[in-house]
Amino acid sequence: MKFTIITHGHSNVTSKHKTTFEVTTDPDIGIAADCIVGVASDKSMKNFSEEFKNALAKDVPVKVILSTKNAHDEISGFGHPNLLLDHPTDIVCRKSEYKCGRTLMIKADKAACDLNRDLINDLINREEMKVEIIVN
């Protein structure tokens, strides 16, 4: 099962956060937002179907693929029965097991600081990014 989001980079993307990365529907970010890699997303968790939420609400593998015109990266993690999946603007992937309404997946194998630098350079230059969320 797959869900696709289109988001955009921003000149303030620093991609320095060590435990998370995030995409948001918000159109702007400050320099301190070191986990946010995509802004102005065309969809949020409120667009997830109930079937997709039910698939994520299991301890199953989840993959997120980030793609820009020059680069891509793949992040693997897990869903969980305690994920709320109800935040209206933010989608966060976490290396930890912390769960809140913003959390898409836990135990991710990468955070913002681990992402492909060519991908991040595209995002700093405000390129479009495709975010594919795949639940097995």
Q: Mind giving me the DSSP string for 72-131?
A: EEEEEEE--TT-----SSEEEEESS----TTEEEBS-S--GGGS-HHHHHHHHTT-EEEE
Percent of the chain with pLDDT over 70: 100
The pLDDT of 75-91, averaged and rounded, is 97
Q: Is residue 55 a part of any domain in this protein?
A: yes
- Does residue 135 lie in a domain region? no
Residue 88 lies in a domain: yes
Q: How many domains does the chain have?
A: 1
Answer whether residue 97 is part of any domain: yes
Q: Is 134 a member of any domain?
A: no
Q: Say what the pTM is.
A: 0.96
Domain that holds residue 33: 2-129
Confidence of residue 42 (pLDDT cuts 50, 70, 90): very high
pLDDT of 85 higher than 90: yes
**CATH classification at residue 22:** 2.60.120.630
Residue 136: the pLDDT is: 81
